[in-house]
Copies of this chain bind each other. A is one copy, B any other.
């Protein structure tokens, strides 16, 4: 039976199995340090994946990641009872158009770049409760569609400050189920909105790190764990600047995670050669890093227990232009070898 632990966490005593993970990325991600581990790398320079617009390209990414995760789990789409999915775009168009052909019951989610954590959390809650034998959780982002929506037209060629991150072009998908696989989700800590009043839309790391701190701190409290109870603690896309802030904030609260902490946004690009400044970002960043880098190591038992904490900056050009800050949110998922 599942147990509610502490203020914000659930412990799944009937742990939820991760049957498969898939990753589909663009050329730049394929050229990064994790390039060899992605399932599919599109080598087109235009990031179009054979489509006519960036949004359609992102839909194509989601569709391919979804199908691949189902195949890797040795299932067919009719074995999946629910989809939990989202992306960064207004009205989740990458998701809507990417997944409509699957013709499966769907819950659309928005948690900015924390969406992969939200989708895994709700998917695990659903499977553990016996509502489904299998669910599909996925998320995506695309550099072109994100820059178009949130920042400047790519053709404008604006200079990016060193605090900026680079939106990952990619989608990661996961099949969760009642049995199978070598990794399981044993618990979750669901995040609150945390607003430190950060108003620099080119420094998402600063806006998200207080939310990451809040969720990780609560995870330690709720599960009565210390940093060393995890082999690794992965945030989603804080980047170099956000990482520094997070480690400091948690130190102030009595926890030193500097030995365990990594960030998907730091892992996915080589900042020296790839001109990505503070690191990678976007819903796809943590999603594909989980599928290609983290999950395989947990499955092989190299890491026994990992805390996976996708981080989201609830950034909108509308609210930003109206003078609002960029609040953050982070959802933590405990993943263990089995």
Contact = CB atoms under 8 A, between A and B. Distances in A.
Contacts of A327: 96-97, 100
Contacts of A130: 1-2, 4
A184 B97 CA distance: 34
Contacts of A315: 91
A267 interface: no
Contact of A96 (B8, B90, B99, B193): B193
B110 A191 contact: no
Given A109-B110, A110-B109, A322-B56, A316 B90 contact: yes
B92 A110 contact: yes
Interface string A193-229: 1110000000000000000000000000000000000
A104 B192 contact: yes
Q: Which of A8, A315, A318, A329 has the most CB atoms of chain B within a 10 A radius of its CB?
A: A318
A322 to B, nearest CB: 5
Given A100-B327, A316-B90, A81 B4 contact: yes
Interface in A311-326: 314-319, 322, 324
Interface string A48-62: 000011011000000
A53 B122 CA distance: 33
A107 B315 CA distance: 16
* Interface size bracket, A side: 35 or more
A4 B132 contact: yes
Given A97-B324, A125-B126, A129-B128, A105 B191 contact: yes
A186 to B, nearest CB: 15
Copies in the assembly, this chain:
2
A129 B118 contact: no
A158 interface: no
Contacts of A112: 91
A118 B125 contact: no
A106 interface: yes
Interface string A31-45: 000000000000000
A190 B105 CA distance: 5
Given A91-B314, A314-B96, A319-B93, A329 B131 contact: no
Contact of A193 (B99, B314, B319): B99
Given A97-B327, A106-B329, A125-B129, 11 more contacts: A8-B105, A56-B322, A88-B91, A90-B91, A92-B314, A100-B195, A104-B192, A109-B109, A109-B110, A125-B125, A125-B126
26 contacts: A4-B81, A4-B131, A55-B319, A56-B322, A90-B149, A91-B314, A93-B314, A93-B318, A93-B319, A93-B324, A96-B193, A96-B319, A96-B327, A97-B324, A97-B327, A100-B192, A100-B194, A105-B192, A106-B192, A108-B110, A108-B111, A108-B329, A125-B125, A125-B126, A129-B129, A129-B131
